[in-house]
Amino acid sequence: MILEKYLNWLDENDDLEESIFPIDSPQLSKKPLVIPEKIEEPIDPKRIMIDFDATIHKYSEGYKDGSIYDVPFDGIKEYISKLKKEGYEIFILTSRLSKSFNGEKVIEQKRMIQEWLDKYGIKVDGITSEKLPAILYIDDRGIFFKGKWDQNMINDIELRLKNN
CB of 20 closer than 8 Å to CB of 27: yes
CB of 63 closer than 8 Å to CB of 53: yes
Q: Is 93 within a domain? A: yes
Q: Is 149 within a domain? A: no
**Conformation bin of residue 121: beta by default, left when phi > 0, alpha when psi is -120 to 50:** left
Q: Is 22 within a domain? A: no
CATH number, position 127: 3.40.50.1000
pLDDT confidence band for 26 (50 / 70 / 90): very low
Number of domains in the chain: 1
pLDDT tens digits for range 38-93: 555 555 579 999 999 999 999 999 888 889 999 999 999 999 999 999 999 999 99
This prediction has a pTM of 0.71
Q: Is 13 within a domain? A: no
Sequence-distant (6+) residues with CB within 8 A of 153 are 143, 145, 146
Q: Is 18 within a domain? A: no
Could you tell me the residue range of the domain that residue 120 belongs to? Answer: 42-143+155-162
